[in-house]
Structure formats: structure tokens, C-alpha cells
Structure 1
Amino acid sequence: MSAIFSDEWMKSFMQQWNAESELTSALADINFSSNIGYGFPDDGQPTGVLVVENGSATSAGAYNGEELNWDIRASEQQWQKWIAKPPGMMGLGTAFASGKMKFKVGDYGAMLKDPRMAGPFIKSFSVMARA
């Protein structure tokens, strides 16, 4: 298994993302396009990046200075916990409120208030489990 958010892992995540019609369709319906960084709280930059255009992932790999719309951070232990058992809305809310999940870029509160985005965000964790 590749290290989480490594270039190889991100490419596998992209394939699993695109295989999940529940995720891609929901995001296509709202014309969701974003550069999403993933990483760890103490690092200066994210480890991996996923580029999404109209719901589908079009590229992924090691972060290489791309401009981000979202930059999501948690400890490696926390990411592994979510990959082993994908969280629900309540678990993610608790993680954010307690500081276990941080958004260096992006508005978590606004995303949660929009069920068209919140549902796919939660779904992305079960997709990570297959990467």
C-alpha cells in the first residue's frame, strides 16, 4: 500500500473518485470544480492534490504548488482512522470543532450548510478507503 497522499496514492484515489457515480454526479449537478489539497497540520504545504472539474477528477498527484480552493489537514493517524471507518456528518463536525480537521483554505461552515456539497464531502472518505 502506498503512503497516504503520495503521488501513487493520489492517482489511485482519483480512479476511485471517478468510479463513484454517486460522488461525481452529485458534484457535476452543481458544477463543482476545485483544486483540493490533502495533508498534515504541521506541514508547510499539502502532500497531495486532486483536481476536480465538473465533479470528475481530472488529475491527481503530489502537490506541486497548484493554487488551491480547499486545503484539508489532519494528522496521519486521524486520516487512517477515517479511511478504516469513514465518518458521517456528525463525526466530521466533531473533528472540525475539536481541531482534528483543519481547513487551511476553504470554508468548512459554508460547505456544511449546503447539502449538495456536504453529502459528496462525506462520500469522499469512503472513496479514500478504496484508494
Structure 2
Amino acid sequence: MQGVSVCTIKTNANVCCVQFPSDTGNSLAFGSADHRIYFYDLRNPSGPLYTLVGHERTVSYVRFLDSTTLVSSSTDNTLKLWDLSECSSEVLDNEVDDTEQFVSSVCWRNQTSSLVAANSMGDVKLLEMV
């Protein structure tokens, strides 16, 4: 038995990461090589509900903290925190100017304001939201 796609979202750039919020199956966000994050309501997939612009290079990671808060990382060596209720972003970490490295992985510690971010040069940082 083979699965059948029930929905296809066509994009103009490579999709690099996809994430569902944990509290609903009706939406998803994905990061793209065009430096953007797209947020879709799957009940109406004809176009994105939000397009989040702010990264300068490929978005390599997205993750929901709750239904309206999203964190993203990019090969521009930044982490951004997005409030979907306001469609705004806040830069969390951009202290290294070396364009040869990039944020390669992010992990949130459950039920805390701590996250770990690793980069392509082998650095692992523990960050606290304030």
C-alpha cells in the first residue's frame, strides 16, 4: 500500500526545514533557501498566512515554542524569535561576524527559557531568554 499526498504546497525556493506546532495540526511553518519563513494554515493552503522576512541567508531551522511563538536559525549565523500574533522578530544571537560559519542546530530545554545553539565551527552555546 502506498500513501497518497492530500496536499501539496508549491514554493519557488528549496524548503530546508518544516515544523508543526505541538498544539494543532492545522498549521505548519517552513524555512526556505530564499531567506524566508512561511507559515500556512493547512485548511487553506493556497498561500501563506504569514511570510516572515528578516534572515539574510538560508533558514536552516524552525521550531514552535507554542502556537504563536517560533524560533528560527539561519546560515547568516542568527537566531530569531518570532511572535506570530504580531508578526515581528527579535534577534537572539548574532555575536559572531564570521560569515563562513552558521547556526546548525537548536534545541530548547522543556519548560524553561533555555536553549542550546550549535554552529558549524563546533561551538555550542547555552542561551537564556530574558
Q: Name which structure has the greater RCO, CA cutoff 8 Å, separation 6+.
A: 1
Q: Same fold (TM over 0.5)?
A: no
TM-score by length of 2: 0.26
Larger radius of gyration: 2
